[in-house]
Structure 1
């Protein structure tokens, strides 16, 4: 029935169909390394150009690139690793942007009106900020009909990293504004430090909470337990410098230092105490990070063992 000289060719491939998961064994392309390397290159160029020109108009570019680089990279990595066919790019972006903004605004309001000077202020910060991120996650995912623990981890991580990105931008801008003028060094140091610590902070804690919430399907004691656990990790993380100072003076303090502390003064530390403080603060942050990572791994393996 074909005209002479015409032969049908092989079926034409139109690429993956949106909303349909790739066949088993199909390797998905990885985009997150390009996101990271491209963003890092742009940030380094921005730092060099700002140093060379001293142009303050470049500061917002520098702040945004540095604050969003690691959070966006980790969300891209998690999306490529954990996504299901019903988790769309639009939903992840909404969780990152809208969830992050709503979380940080809600936390700021609650901390302003509910918290005051107290030895437990950092625990209060943890309880408020984790509750704000949880509320943002619930709002962003309110229309989802299918919920799995893995989806909760992914979307929780997106909300948490969005919160971290906007919070880091604020810290970086604040660090840059000094009494002596614009401090580019302080801005860059703040962005590098917070970028390195971002993967074991807000994104990790909200991923744990989202995974437990989606696995339970409703508000249960397990969700409450997970909320209190990540709030405790959050509070310990924020208070680690204060804890390290107290432990340093308890372990190595002398009578004259105790006398100054009782009088309301902070004594100058010895060289040995400076080294001990650094070891305790870094070691404490490492311990909190390991507890968070271990919790997420246990949650992931528990979900896999149950099918």
Structure 2
């Protein structure tokens, strides 16, 4: 008579705050402390610490949050997510830099070109990070895609922070901090969200065959995400054009006809800011709705893949 199969050990019930919340709170306190000490001492050696903490805090927090929600039956581990965040994000940034400098020139279509390139290289980096991952559960694809996207966002934000620091009047810590705050607030709705969608679509297209495939749905997702990316990047220019169209004065139109771009009035600056944030909100809602619909549609594939998945690693995997 065959011996009875031993039941799987019950997962421990974790009490206390979630890891992502601990990461955010502790990281935020450290960043605020670094800001205070840097401003009070004017010690330039602290600038790298300020840049790294401010640029990586929100992306790392959201990767931990996504991993916490991935479910206990996935195959992702913290090591794989760390590799996707660092290696995938770095490969994406490097690939985008090479392609953009080689292929893009100033034109009305430049924003779309940036979107196509950056979303394309992130999907390529995601594909590389998922090459040996089995099975392809769509929810795991979303989490792994978020890790690649947030890694890209963290590295990109550190570059923007350093650029803001360097001004014609010297180093500006105020501009650096303001840039980090703005990009930290916007980080959850950009690269990480878009690449999470790409990961879900890619894994859903590959779930039944057991291997990654470039299907029509993956190409359609790449094109759709590129359009959202282009709209996000061009939103300030779009808002400025709309402000000029609806509130432009005679002298501004005269300057425009002579080939000069007129400066907005103080009232128009507020109008442009409102339009820009409103546009970002619309793009974010579209992307969030897309991700939610994708998660619902692929839930049966998640369940089927979960039945074939080995237990997750202890510790981090226990939820």
Q: Contact 1:99–1:136 at 8 Å: present in 2 too?
A: yes
Shift of 1:120: 1.0
**Where does structure 1 lack aligned partners over 5 or more consecutive residues?**
1-19
Match of 1:110 in 2: 99
Change (3 A) 1:70 1:111: same
Note the aligned Cα RMSD (angstroms): 1.7
- Alignment of 1:57 onto 2:45: yes
Q: Is residue 2:288 matched to residue 1:284?
A: no
Name the residue aligned to 1:225: 220
Q: Which has the larger Rg?
A: 1
Aligned: 1:127 with 2:122: no
1:230-241 equivalences in 2 (<5 Å) = 230-241=225-236
> Is the contact between residue 75 and residue 140 of structure 2 (CA under 8 Å) also seen in structure 1?
no
* Cα displacement (A) at 1:263: 1.0
- Of 120, 135, 156, which aligns to 2:145? 156
Q: Distance in 1 between matches of 2:233 and 2:67?
A: 28
CA change 1:276–1:85 in 2 (3 A) is: closer
C-alpha separation in 2, matches of 1:51 and 1:181: 15
Distance 1:36 1:230 in 2: 28
Match of 2:127 among 138, 143, 146: 138
Q: Are 1:182 and 2:177 matched, yes or no?
A: no
Distance 1:34 1:96 in 2: 19
Structure 2 residue matching 1:82: 3-state secondary structure: coil
Mapped to 1, the partners of 2:9 and 2:42 lie a distance apart of: 49
Please tell me whether the aligned partners of residues 58 and 187 of structure 2 are also in contact (alpha carbons under 8 angstroms).
yes
Residue correspondence of structure 1 range 71-110 to structure 2 within 5 A: 71-83=59-71, 84-110=73-99
Shift of 1:28: 7.5
| 2:202 matches 1:213 | yes
Gaps of 5+ in 2: 1-7, 207-212, 304-319
Q: Which residue of 2 aligns with 1:252?
A: 247
| One of 258, 263, 279 as aligned partner of 2:258 | 263
Is the CA contact (8 Å cut-off) linking 2:34 and 2:50 kept in structure 1?
yes
Of residues 158, 162, 168, the one that matches 2:157 is: 168
Matched residues in 2 for 1:171 and 1:215: separation? 34
2:135 alignment partner, SS class: coil
> What's the CA shift for 1:272?
3.4
Q: Measured at CA, do residues 100 and 271 of structure 1 come closer, stay the same or move farther in structure 2, by a change above 3 Å?
A: same
CA contact (8 A) 1:21 1:85 kept: no
Structure with the bigger RCO (C-alpha within 8 Å, sep 6+) is 2
Report the secondary structure of 1:264's partner residue: coil
Matches of 1:210 and 1:70, distance apart in 2 = 20
Displacement after TM superposition at 1:269 (Å) = 2.6
Q: Which runs of 4+ in 1 moved over 6 A?
A: none
Conserved? CA contact 2:74–2:137, under 8 Å: no
Deviations 1:139-159 (A, max 9, x none): 111111211110110000000
Q: Is the 8 A contact 2:194 2:287 kept in 1?
A: yes
Given that residues 142 and 200 in structure 2 are in contact (C-alpha distance below 8 angstroms), is that contact kept between their aligned partners in structure 1?
yes
- CA shift digits 1:253-296 (9 cap, x unpaired): 23432221121212233343223212211110110111111110
Q: What is the distance in 2 between the residues matched to 1:303 and 1:199?
A: 22
How many residue pairs match? The answer is 287
Q: TM-score, normalised by structure 1?
A: 0.89
User: Which string of whole-angstrom CA distances, capped at 9 and with x for unpartnered residues, describes residues 173-194 of structure 1?
Assistant: 1111112221110110000000
Aligned partners of 1:141 and 1:290: how far apart in 2? 28
Paired residue for 2:299, among 295, 304, 307?
Answer: 304
Report deviation, 1:229. Answer: 0.7
